[in-house]
Amino acid sequence: MWIKLCTTPEVPDEDVLEVTYNNHVYCAYRISGKHYVTDGICTHQVARLSEGYVIDDVIECPMHNGRFHIPTGRVDGPPACDPLRVYALKVEGQVLMIEVNNT
C-alpha cells in the first residue's frame, strides 16, 4: 500500500530528512532534483543515517562510516554488508508517497 511520508518542500536539496511513520524510520532525499526514500537505520548496527552525511548520491553512516548508494541501496563502503532498503515512490502534488508492504 502507499503511504504519505512527507511533503516535497520538507526534503532538503542534496541532503536527508528523517521521517518516522508507524514506528519505522525512513530517510527521504532529493539528489539532483530527484527524490529517493530508503530505510533510515543503518544495516550494520543501529545508527540513524539522517545523522550522517550525504555525499553526492551516497549516504555515509555516522557510526562507522559505512556508505550506501541512495538510488539503489547498494553498499558503497564497509563495514556495512547488507544493502539498504529503497522504496518505490511517487509524488502527487507536493505529497511524497512510498509503497510499503505491511505498515
Binding site for ligand FES (CB under 6 A): 42, 44-45, 47, 61, 63-64, 66, 79-80
Of 25 and 63, nearer to ligand FES (C-beta) is 63
Q: Cα(5)–Cα(76) distance, rounded to whole angstroms? A: 26
Q: Could you give the maximum distance between any two Cα atoms of the chain, in Å? A: 39
Tell me if 97 sits within 8 A of 89, measured CB to CB.
yes
Query: 35 or 64: whose CB is closer to ligand FES?
Result: 64
Cβ closest to ligand FES, residue 4 vs residue 24: 24
